[in-house]
Chains A and B, each alone.
Chain A
Amino acid sequence: MKSSKFFPITLLIGLVIGIQILTQLTETTYYLTQLTMAAYYTLVVIGLSVLMGYAGQISIGHAGFFAIGGYLSAALTTHNLFGLQEHAVVKTLGQLGMLVSGQDLYGEQLLTVAPWPACLFAIVVAAVIALVLGVPVLKLKGHYLAMATLGFGIIVFRIGLATEFFGEADGISEVPAFTLLPAIAGFPALSVSGDFGNRAENYYIAWALLISGMVLLLNLIDSRTGRALRSIHGAEEAAEAIGINTARLKLAVFVLSAVFAAVAGVFLTHYNGGIGPSEASVMKSVRYVALVAVGGMANLWGVLIMGVTLTFLSLRGVFGTYDDAVFGTILILVMLFAPDGILSIRGKALLSRLKKNNA
């Protein structure tokens, strides 16, 4: 293994730990909340970067996959099946140990799907939808693909908004904590939740997930499959001529990026304790596209850095009520002045570009 490839990963891990210690020392641990959320959102963005930057297929519908993950996991872990407990399906689920019972705030009996099966179900559904959607849609190119994926995103948004099961305009709240690992052998349980006491723990869970995702994608790009992916972007006809089944490969990446989005959706929903229709909105999808573009499209590190930074600033409320407008503007400016991403800008090159544009 080339050590150079993973040196930045080591650096990043150091940075993540450093920041946590720093916030502890300066008693500014509240920053960790936004850093946790930013890590989850960036997981969507790095997945999309592989689809857009490397395979060259745009999607303006990835908030849809995020929402499918988040909504399904939220709905399954909150809907009370107590009244249905005699139903055959519910019984089977119970026998398989996939249900948890409890009591709500008012002492009422609750019977819901446990987070782990809910999470897996949500991710599988997102993957299947990506597969079914991808088969026809990925035959399209450029603007047409953009329109089709945009349409998909709008459908998911409207379904969330119109379905009682998904809480309509209110979304779903009181989503329980997601216990990843139960307490064993003296170690405390590891769970995804928004409790203040779990702040540092959740910060590490989110970043561990993001960094693992990053390592997997970096590996993928630097492999036989990754080269084939990049070849599609470069010259699809030539890729076909050397035996690469471009249609299947595009579909596979589409599903992979949808799974990344859905995983992020599930985790963030349990972390926030709820999800609302805004997570599925078109502006969210546009934001993901903007972040991929700012990061430099086919540049996973650039995308990670810009994704975390801008999402963190946005979550801190730095852009105020202009939040969406800021991301729209960023997208325009990047396309005009830095099509290879912000990190590729060098002062002189930018000046000459400006001059050329004015001339």
Chain B
Amino acid sequence: MLELQSVNKQFGGLRAVDDVNFSVQEGVIKAVIGPNGAGKTTLFNLIAGNLAPTTGKISFLGQEIQGKKPHQIACLGMSRTFQNIKLFHGMTALESVMVGRHIRSRAGFLAGMFHPPSSRKEERAIREKSFELLELLEIAEYADVEATSLAFGQQRAVEMARALATEPRLLLLDEPAAGLNIYETAEVARLISRIRDMGITVLLVEHDMSLVMDISDEIVVLSFGRKIAEGEPLAIQQNPEVIKIYLGEDEELAA
């Protein structure tokens, strides 16, 4: 459903993403891993439309999306979370998720000001659906708490619920386990699997190997902006190139 063809991104002289090709099949969990500075987040920003590639093609559900604005891409059915959580200030957890229903609802300015019966009905539907998502992510008890005052792991969950509220076909998760302890990470892993089982394709960028190896169907490894390996978790674990960048080069072997 998502396909990257020779995608490049240059910042001045730096090739942050260098001729990357891969595709994501519907219904899988695919992970992009790599050491710090490998260009993972840049790659994500290219896919989600926060950055435009210097050259190359990105297609999503058969449409070319490079150069489109993030909100346009979101409307096509792609949603994302952020590495450094971006929640809306002054909104409760429930409201934060309700905002996620934006593209799935219609009431405009005038309906907003006059609250006709049609928009009241829609508003109720938004509220119910959002609450269901909070329940799905097991944070329904915090529905009326200001989202930014929740614990870190719960904030992550709110962000995921918000992304799910857009009813995406593809969900991008940028380091969903960053800053979480091992219990919380295991919890997130369980959630991600559950999201996949709902029929939503997941592409995630991650640092945490345990999470990636446990849940991914396929893994892409980046190093210095280039793809150095792609395959199933087991194959990746045994790939000498990957071991080299993660564990460092064995001097005797290199010689």
Contacts and interface: CB of A to CB of B under 8 A. Distances in A.
Interface of A: 1, 216-217, 219-220, 223-228, 230-231, 233-235, 237-246, 252, 256, 298
Contacts of B165: 242
A241 B98 CA distance: 14
A230 B89 CA distance: 8
Contacts of B88: 230-231, 233-235, 238-239
Contacts of A235: 86-89
Nearest to B120: A1
A5 to B, nearest CB: 10
Contact of B98 (A227, A237, A246): A227
Ranked 6 nearest A-B pairs via Cβ: A234-B88, A243-B74, A223-B112, A243-B103, A238-B86, A240-B70
Interface of B: 48, 50, 69-71, 74-75, 79-80, 82, 86-91, 95, 98-103, 105-109, 111-115, 119-120, 122-123, 126, 159, 162-163, 165-166
Contact of A225 (B74, B91, B108, B126): B108
B199 to A, nearest CB: 19
Contacts of B71: 240-241, 243-246
A298 B90 CA distance: 10
Contacts of B101: 224
A233 B148 CA distance: 14
A27 B119 CA distance: 47
Contacts of A233: 88-89
A245 B100 CA distance: 13
A43 B109 CA distance: 18
Contacts of A237: 50, 70, 82, 86
B87 A219 contact: no
Contacts of B114: 216, 219
20 contacts: A216-B113, A219-B112, A219-B113, A224-B119, A224-B122, A224-B126, A225-B107, A230-B88, A234-B87, A234-B90, A235-B89, A237-B70, A238-B87, A241-B80, A242-B99, A242-B102, A243-B74, A243-B75, A243-B79, A243-B103
Query: Secondary structure at chain B's binding surface: helix, strand, loop or mixed?
Result: helix
Given A225-B112, A226-B112, A227-B98, A242 B74 contact: yes
Nearest to B96: A231
Contact of A234 (B74, B89, B109, B111): B89
A38 B96 CA distance: 36
A231 to B, nearest CB: 5
A217 B113 contact: yes
Query: Secondary structure at chain A's binding surface: helix, strand, loop or mixed?
Result: helix
Contacts of B159: 238
Given A223-B115, A224-B102, A225-B111, 13 more contacts: A224-B111, A225-B107, A225-B109, A225-B112, A227-B95, A230-B90, A237-B70, A239-B99, A240-B74, A241-B71, A242-B103, A242-B165, A244-B103
A233 B159 CA distance: 17
B163 A224 contact: no
A219 B108 CA distance: 12
B182 to A, nearest CB: 27
A231 B162 CA distance: 12
Contacts of B80: 241
A228 B89 contact: no
Given A224-B102, A227-B98, A235-B88, A240 B115 contact: no
A326 B143 CA distance: 43
A224 to B, nearest CB: 5
A334 to B, nearest CB: 18
B91 A227 contact: yes
Contacts of A252: 109
Contacts of B123: 223-224
A220 B112 contact: yes
B48 A241 contact: yes
Contacts of B107: 223-225
Contacts of B112: 219-220, 223-226
Given A219-B112, A231-B88, A298-B90, A224 B70 contact: no
Contact of B119 (A223, A227, A298): A223
Contacts of A219: 112-115
Contacts of A242: 74, 79, 99-100, 102-103, 162-163, 165-166
A256 B114 CA distance: 14
B82 A240 contact: no
Contacts of A243: 71, 74-75, 79, 102-103, 166
Given A223-B123, A227-B99, A246-B71, A241 B109 contact: no
A338 to B, nearest CB: 17
Contacts of A224: 101-102, 105-107, 111-112, 119, 122-123, 126
A50 to B, nearest CB: 11
A228 B99 contact: yes
Contacts of B86: 235, 237-238
B143 to A, nearest CB: 15
A244 to B, nearest CB: 5
Nearest to A238: B86
Contacts of A225: 107-109, 111-112
A93 B108 CA distance: 34
A241 to B, nearest CB: 5
